[in-house]
Amino acid sequence: MKSLVVSGIQPSGTIHIGNYLGMIKQAVDLQDSGGYSCLYFIVDLHSLTSKYDPKKKPGDIIGIATDLLAAGIDPEKSPLFIQSHVLEHANLAWIFNTITSMGQLERMVEYKEKIASGQTPNAGLFDYPVLMAADILLYKGQKVPVGEDQRQHLELARDIARSFNKRFGETFPEPGGVYTKAPRVMSLTDPDKKMSKSMPAGCLYLSDSPKKIKQKIGAAVTDSQKKIGYDPENRPGISNLINIYAGFSGSAPESVAKQFADASYKDFKTAASDLVAEKLKGIQERREKFGRNKKEVIRILEEGANAVRPIAQKTLAEVKEKIGLI
Ligand code: ADP
Ligand code: TRP
């Protein structure tokens, strides 16, 4: 039997190339490799843990589904669905809450960072990683394409699988992350920080026009050295552009650095802008097509939920029996 790949993405804000290279491209490549069964979902319940406008939420959900389809998620191969349409996610999360300690959650860096950045924590934000563990284990997922920033959450999912198995008998595989060569895309304007929807200035969006791409990459912060070189520790700006080039071209960052060793920063930036614009062109064209057909996107999401629901129901029934519920 093929290993099962699962991943989720939040419906919040516009997708940037960090989301794309860190998670979406990986999800598409795993699907297209033919070696795995894949299922992907939009984690609308997770997205309720940050401040949001209920009027905008439906559009955000359809928007991200459209982005995923445009980026190459093929519903014929991989069910694509909305997390809250399969009720078992929240149900399993509750059960996992009872085998997760406060201490395990208090250690979560993403939670601590969100509080440090001024977000008032709700109980859902604290519990966020438990719901993520439920998302994965509900399908007995084995591989999870995510960005580097999700590594700690994935470790928690493994811990939860292990403690459940130990206490109630072998039930869940321990899921592993699948990370890209360029796992963390940094902000174009502040390359010491990761590119994030919360800092729009440093983001390059999947929807950006070739002109915008040229402008943003052209203005990206680099350094005052003369020669292009790959050294993420000491030269984060130029190394980030090399990583972006590598991510879109499929070559290793070191070989990109070698290829452009004698080029000027300006020429390299032009080459990088052209490459990114060319790779995004197909996605943007498909986005436009799906964007005009909202009904079809909704149909795909409903069909996806219908396809996976029986698996979710089976796992939850097994779990309930093992933990002693009738
Ligand atoms: P953001 O931080 O922009 O709000 P999300 O938290 O919604 O992004 O992340 C969605 C997916 O994209 C996750 O799998 C995450 O690991 C990945 N991701 C987000 N930002 C980056 C980045 N700068 N580089 C690589 N992957 C990223
Ligand atoms: N926490 C992930 C993020 O911020 C989103 C997510 C929720 C997820 N559930 C998941 C990712 C399950 C992979 C698998 O990006």
Question: Residue 181: its pLDDT value, please?
Answer: 65
Which ranges in the chain are annotated with CATH 1.10.240.10? 200-289
Q: Which atom of ligand 2 is nearest to the CA of 128?
A: 1
**Binding site membership of 144 for ligand 2 (Cβ less than 6 Å):** yes
Given a contact cutoff of 8 angstroms between Cβ atoms, the answer to whether 182 and 24 are in contact is no
Q: How far apart are the C-alpha atoms of 227 and 265, rounded to whole Å? A: 8
Give the Å distance between the CA of 60 and the centre of ligand 1: 16
Q: Give the number of other CB atoms < 10 A from CB of residue 121.
A: 13
Distances (CA, A) of 163 to 107, 135, 138: 17, 17, 15
Is 114 among the catalytic positions?
Answer: yes
Question: Residue 108: its pLDDT value, please?
Answer: 97
Distances (CA, A) of 5 to 15, 36, 68, 226, 259: 21, 7, 16, 43, 34
Half-sphere exposure (Cβ direction) of 37: Cα atoms closer than 13 Å: 11
Tokens 């439906």, located at residue? 58
CATH pick for 200-289 out of 3.30.450.20, 1.10.240.10, 3.30.710.10, 1.20.81.30: 1.10.240.10
Question: Residue 154: its pLDDT value, please?
Answer: 97
Question: Residue 199: its pLDDT value, please?
Answer: 87
Three-state DSSP class for 1? Answer: coil
pLDDT (tens digit per residue) in 50-74: 999 999 999 999 999 999 999 999 9
Q: Thinking of the domain 3-184+293-323, which architecture would CATH place it in?
A: 3-Layer(aba) Sandwich (3.40)
> Atom 15 (ligand 1): residue with closest C-alpha?
147
**Binding site membership of 68 for ligand 2 (Cβ less than 6 Å):** no
Which ranges in the chain are annotated with CATH 3.40.50.620? 3-184+293-323
Give the Å distance between the CA of 226 and the centre of ligand 1: 31
Question: Residue 147: its pLDDT value, please?
Answer: 85
Report the run of H or E that residue 79 belongs to, with start and end.
Answer: none
Catalytic residue among 57, 77, 140, 197: 197
Is 197 among the catalytic positions?
Answer: yes
Among left, alpha and beta (phi > 0; psi -120 to 50; other), residue 129 is: alpha
Give the Å distance between the CA of 295 and the centre of ligand 1: 28
Is 266 among the catalytic positions?
Answer: no
Ranges of residues in the chain whose predicted pLDDT is under 70:
181-183
